[in-house]
Amino acid sequence: MFDLICRQRHWGEDRVIYEGQNGRLCTIASAWTDIDPGDEFRLIAAGRAAFRTVDLLALCDALDRLAEGLRSDDA
């Protein structure tokens, strides 16, 4: 356990800043902490589902756009 100093974006990711040994400030990725409640899908799926439905639908949309681009390049 550690005392949270603040939470900021560093090196392109969400990180928490805390006081380490000897009063030194340290950072760690917030994803490695319990600062945010767990993702409900992951909690309910309990490792039984690799993908969320919304992510699969977004992938389908991206693939459709890619296919359209490829078809228009052939014309």
Which of 50, 60, 4 is CA-nearest to residue 28? 4
Is residue 1 located within the same domain as residue 24? yes
DSSP 16-53: EEEE-GGG-EEEEEGGGSSSSPPPHHHHHHTTS-SS-H
Domain count, the chain: 2
pLDDT tens-place values along the chain, 75 residues long? 678 899 999 888 999 999 988 889 999 998 888 887 777 887 788 888 888 888 899 999 999 999 998 888 775
Chain centroid, CA 17 distance in Å? 18
Residue 13: strand pairing partners: 10
Q: Which domain holds residue 20?
A: 1-36
Residues 75, 55 share a domain: yes
Residues 50 and 32 in one domain: no
Q: Is residue 23 part of a domain?
A: yes
pTM of the model: 0.47
Residue 41 lies in a domain: no
Look at residue 9 and tell me if it is in a domain: yes
Task: State whether the Cα torsion 61-66-41-12 is positive or negative.
Answer: negative
3 within a domain of the structure (yes/no): yes
* pLDDT for res 75: 59
